[in-house]
Chains A and B, each alone.
Chain A
Amino acid sequence: MSSWIIAGTALGYLLLLSLLAWSAESVRKKRKSWINNGYVYALSMAVYCTAWTYYGSVGRAATSGLDFLTIYIGPTILCALFWPVLLKIIRICRTQGITSIADLVSTRYGKNFSLAVLVTIFCVMGVIPYIALQLKAIATSFDLLAGTTGNTNQSIWKDSTFYGTLLLTIFILFFGTRSVDAAEKHEGLIAAIAFESVIKLVAFLAAGLFITYGVFNGFSDLFQQANAQPRLQQLFTFQENNAYTSWFSMLTLSFFAMLFLPRQFQVNVVENLDENHLKTAGWVFPLYLFVINLFVVPIALAGSVLYPGATANPDLYVLNIPLDQGRHLLSLLIFIGGFSAATGMIIVETIALTTMISNHLALPLLFSTNRLHQESRRNLSAVVLWVRRGSILLVIGLSLLYDKLVAEQYSLVSIGLVSFAAVAQLAPAVLGGLYWKGASKNGALAGLAAGFICWMFTLLLPSLAGAGLLDNSILENGYFGISWLRPDALFGLTSLDPVSHSLFWSLLLNSGLFVLVSINGQKGTRETFQAELFVDFLTKEKFEVEPAAWKNTANLPALRLLLQNFIGSERAVSLFQKYASRHQIPLNTTTADPRLVQFTEKILAGVIGSASAHILVSRVAKAEELSMEEVLNLLRESQQMMELNKELRRKSAELTRVTEQLSALNRQLMAMDEMKDEFLYTVTHELRTPLTSIRALTELVHDNPEMPENQKTEFLAAVVRETERLSHLITQVLSLERFESGKQPLELQTIQTKELLDEALSDIQPLVQQKKLRIQTQLTHPFQLIELDPILVRQVLYNLLTNAIRFSPESGTILFAAEVSGNHLEISVSDQGKGIPEAALELIFDKFYQAPNQTLKKPEGSGLGLAISKKIIELHTGNIRAENREDGGARFIFILPLSQINL
């Protein structure tokens, strides 16, 4: 295929990326960012899958079997199970304005300068090979596609790697240094990275599908052919014992890589727009890893079957197979997929490294020479930007150099593992710093340095020696000819593979020194303070940096000028005003409030890193270094404050609850009050009726002396009856009131059931005779003893019986029954009247309830009888109800417990 077509396609692809990045940036300005969602975040995390995944996994699978998978299991475990670690880091970095992994380590240990430098150098050394690996992947895939041979000796001007790198550099320069504030998000870039993740996935799946179904006849055909080769069979089973250690160390490496690789830190933490996206990423990212690995084994097997005599580079099977099948368009797509995997990594890694180099190496160097300080009136943001651009060129240049000098000799995966092992060294300092207050700056320094040196001796230098850049004899005879210093068998440990071996020794030394030095050493005050902040970050909600902890005062204009120099006067002034109004700090003084000093430092940290920011701010601010005791006091105070706050919140919640209860009670009382009002109104209404008759009739008798005698007698008789009715009503109302208010105690006696019934019957005898009714009694246990208030229950029976009598037709029958069931007595009164409307069966127990649709009022009733009866039964913890008999007529039933004692 013509080189020009391939190069043109790659260029077109880069232009497309730029367009995408540019449109994402412009959308962001409208504050409605379509990249602000968990899927884009998860896809940007997939920058984890580089050319190593794209080409190298197949290569690894073809040579070492399934252990390529470990590289993806580590991050899956992290995202699915250990995401709180990531969340904690994200939150800390947001509050403290941290922009890189070096910044994180340095900030945790008291904004220590040396630590930032150490981590930066370490990351650069560790990651440059990894970037070189990507360049190598682009170049080899290009050469394979173009049919040229990658000749290292040819002039750099004819080298495809060089041109590709140049284009990429321009892209990074443009989108990576648009804003001076490194804490600001690169939305455009992230959009591009997420897009690249999609492209590489699609391309790889296309390759996998083509090879499995186009070249072979599906999975079963492929596996059958592969099974025929004993070498391949062997490949996919655990063979030696140390396969397990190798698996474990790879898993550990990839777990740490997902956390600490500068590019992962960049996308996971710095570019995180919303911590809720972490939840989506928790399943989308592992899913992505799963899908992209689906066809690794099939492709590796296919390659091994098709090129049995190692006639092709296993790393390039994925491209080689379609190409040999004459599928040029597909091959081009696969090349672009690999190109996107490589470029995505290079872009993000370069930006992450650039932030570190400029903030922790270049800028502090510039600021420590006083030249810049004197020129502080100049716009320093331009300086920062140029330093960044320089750093980008430096990183890319170094990678290119490493690629030319070393990378030719190694496979993709082995270079990647060297990088992974490097960043794994950050684990003790970072994780220890996040969860152990005792971790100290010196411990971190000692551990990191030891781990770093160990890594250099066991992995980096051997790789250089392998490339012929160092004396090859160290591989055979050990450093300085000492055999127990052999890089792959330190202290005679020979049973591990080189990576596990390196990881074992470096992490052992690293964490050992870290812990030992931390325990034994003294800690500075600032360090102690940061330790509190980091470790207690999630437990103490919203534990913001407590600026008053540092009695920094500064000349306000000088402070403002400092900030202006980096972010421009307009933004500096507006930030100051916003912060001042939020915390009610006066801005018209000459001495700046300590909080303002702290704020300035945080903003500057976002631009130039915390260590540099600290240096610059302390130049204008007079920092009064606090004694350890003072810091501890401050911390204690803030803790007390917090406890007080918690207590207050608890109290206030309690208060709210009580208020709610009170208002509920109030509503209830008001409802009761209303009911009471209504009751009183009804009572007065009921009282008025007999009163009306009495008054009218007596007035008439009084005013009309000539009234005939019989009429006068009739009137006076009515007056007497109405007076009786009135006093009966008053008695009823008063007794009901007594029952309801609980003022009426039960006067309990134990009597025989028969006795109770007999007395009730004798009460109503005259009425029965009057209406010629028949009363039929049924009594199952006449001598059953029952405990109750006989007077009150007799009143109930009287009410029920008189009701029955009132509604019975002439010479009807009333059934009066009592039976004992269990420990209850059930008494019922049934009549042969017209029954009760269904809807009224419950309402009739309400006070003054009048059955509707009766055309004649029954002047005998007070309207309170049933209400009082119900109350009395309830006082005996019994219940009463009304029902209609099947053959017409109503039945009232009440149930009483035989004994009141256990109630």
Chain B
Amino acid sequence: MPGKKILVVDDDPYILMSLEFLMQKNGYSVVVARNGTEALQLVQQEIPDLVVLDIMMPDIDGYAICEFIKKQPALNHIIVVFLSAKTRESDQRKGLELGAAAFVFKPFSTRSLIKEINQLLR
């Protein structure tokens, strides 16, 4: 849905670059965070509608950020989509249990990712 705000969190600058382009191209306003600390700060400051969240980051991992979001009454409406190279089933289950709406494996297809996000924000 155009006009909605998306926070993209990833510690890899190129992935961040591609995601930012993809979201903007589809009419979303985009905020980027390059690590967990920035992500925590921006999610409270910007209150996005959806967060695309990497898991393995050097400071705070994606699970902790998701947990934080889902526990805050002011934030828990935010849709979380994990985007991770962690491909074990247990990783996925853990993410979904924490309240994420989707768990997308890296490397991902930009086409299906945007389709998924569009659906979630409809």
- CB of B58 within 8 A of CB of A696, answer no
In the complex, what residues of A have CB within 8 A of residue B106's CB?
Answer: 688-689, 691-692
Distance in Å: Cβ of A470 to nearest Cβ of chain B: 106
A695 within 8 A of B: yes
B122 within 8 A of A: no
Contact with B along A417-455 (1 / 0, CB 8 A): 000000000000000000000000000000000000000
B19 within 8 A of A: yes
B22 within 8 A of A: yes
- CB of B107 within 8 A of CB of A695, answer yes
Bound-state CA distance A700–B12 (Å) is 17
Bound-state CA distance A721–B17 (Å) is 14
Q: Chain A interface mostly helix, strand, loop or mixed?
A: helix
B11 within 8 A of A: yes
A855/B110 contact (C-beta < 8 A), A693-B15, A696-B19 known:
no
Set B13, B57, B87, B110: member contacting A700, Cβ < 8 A: B110
A570 within 8 A of B: no
Among B12, B14, B38, chain A packs the most CB atoms within 10 A around the CB of B14
In the complex, what residues of B have CB within 8 A of residue A694's CB?
Answer: 107
Distance in Å: Cβ of A683 to nearest Cβ of chain B: 11
Number of B interface residues, CB 8 Å? Answer: 29
Q: Closest A residue to B88 by CB, please name it.
A: A681
Distance in Å: Cβ of B22 to nearest Cβ of chain A: 6
Bound-state CA distance A332–B85 (Å) is 100
What interface size band does chain A fall in? 20 to 34
- CB of B58 within 8 A of CB of A853, answer yes
A582 within 8 A of B: no
- CB of B12 within 8 A of CB of A699, answer no
- Which residues of chain A (694-715) have a CB below 8 Å from chain B? 694-697, 699-700, 703-704, 711, 714-715
Bound-state CA distance A714–B13 (Å) is 12
- CB of B17 within 8 A of CB of A718, answer yes
- CB of A856 within 8 A of CB of B58, answer yes
A700/B18 contact (C-beta < 8 A), A689-B85, A692-B85, A855-B37 known:
yes
A850 within 8 A of B: yes
Distance in Å: Cβ of A725 to nearest Cβ of chain B: 10
B111 within 8 A of A: yes
Q: Closest A residue to B109 by CB, please name it.
A: A699
A589 within 8 A of B: no
In the complex, what residues of A have CB within 8 A of residue B14's CB?
Answer: 693, 696-697, 718, 721-722, 859
Set B12, B25, B35, B37: member contacting A704, Cβ < 8 A: B25
- CB of B107 within 8 A of CB of A688, answer yes
In the complex, what residues of B have CB within 8 A of residue A857's CB?
Answer: 11-12, 57-58
A696/B37 contact (C-beta < 8 A), A852-B58, A855-B59 known:
no
Q: Closest B residue to A719 by CB, please name it.
A: B14
Bound-state CA distance A697–B86 (Å) is 20
Q: Closest A residue to B58 by CB, please name it.
A: A854
Bound-state CA distance A694–B107 (Å) is 9
Q: Closest A residue to B14 by CB, please name it.
A: A693
A684/B58 contact (C-beta < 8 A), A692-B12, A696-B19 known:
no
In the complex, what residues of A have CB within 8 A of residue B21's CB?
Answer: 700, 711
- CB of B85 within 8 A of CB of A696, answer no
Bound-state CA distance A265–B86 (Å) is 82
Set B15, B25, B35, B86: member contacting A692, Cβ < 8 A: B15
Distance in Å: Cβ of B94 to nearest Cβ of chain A: 15
Set A711, A718, A722, A856: member contacting B35, Cβ < 8 A: A856
Set A699, A718, A850: member contacting B110, Cβ < 8 A: A699
In the complex, what residues of B have CB within 8 A of residue A718's CB?
Answer: 14, 17
B56 within 8 A of A: yes
Contact with B along A596-617 (1 / 0, CB 8 A): 0000000000000000000000
In the complex, what residues of B have CB within 8 A of residue A696's CB?
Answer: 14-15, 18-19, 22, 107-108, 110
B34 within 8 A of A: yes
Q: Closest A residue to B11 by CB, please name it.
A: A857
- Which residues of chain A (95-123) have a CB below 8 Å from chain B? none
Bound-state CA distance A855–B40 (Å) is 13
- CB of B109 within 8 A of CB of A859, answer no
In the complex, what residues of A have CB within 8 A of residue B18's CB?
Answer: 693, 696-697, 700, 715
- Which residues of chain A (314-329) have a CB below 8 Å from chain B? none
Set A714, A715, A855: member contacting B58, Cβ < 8 A: A855
- Which residues of chain B (20-66) have a CB below 8 Å from chain A? 21-22, 25, 34-35, 37-38, 56-59
A688/B85 contact (C-beta < 8 A), A856-B34, A857-B11 known:
yes
Bound-state CA distance A699–B87 (Å) is 22
Set B12, B35, B38: member contacting A689, Cβ < 8 A: B12
A685 within 8 A of B: yes
Set A691, A722, A854: member contacting B59, Cβ < 8 A: A854
A692/B22 contact (C-beta < 8 A), A684-B87, A859-B13 known:
no
Contact with A along B90-114 (1 / 0, CB 8 A): 0000000000000000111111000
List 25 contacting pairs A-B, 8 Å CB cutoff, sorted by A. Answer: A685-B56, A688-B107, A692-B85, A692-B106, A693-B18, A694-B107, A696-B22, A697-B14, A697-B17, A699-B109, A700-B25, A703-B110, A704-B25, A714-B17, A721-B14, A850-B58, A851-B58, A853-B58, A853-B59, A854-B59, A855-B34, A855-B35, A855-B38, A855-B59, A856-B34
Q: With contacts A696-B110, A697-B17 known, what are 10 further pairs, Cβ within 8 A? A: A685-B85, A692-B12, A692-B106, A695-B107, A696-B22, A696-B107, A703-B110, A722-B14, A852-B59, A856-B58
- A-B residue pairs, 6 tightest by C-beta: A693-B14, A688-B85, A696-B18, A692-B107, A692-B106, A857-B11
Write the residues of chain A forming the contact surface with B, with a CB cutoff of 8 angstroms: 681, 684-685, 688-689, 691-697, 699-700, 703-704, 711, 714-715, 718, 721-722, 850-857, 859
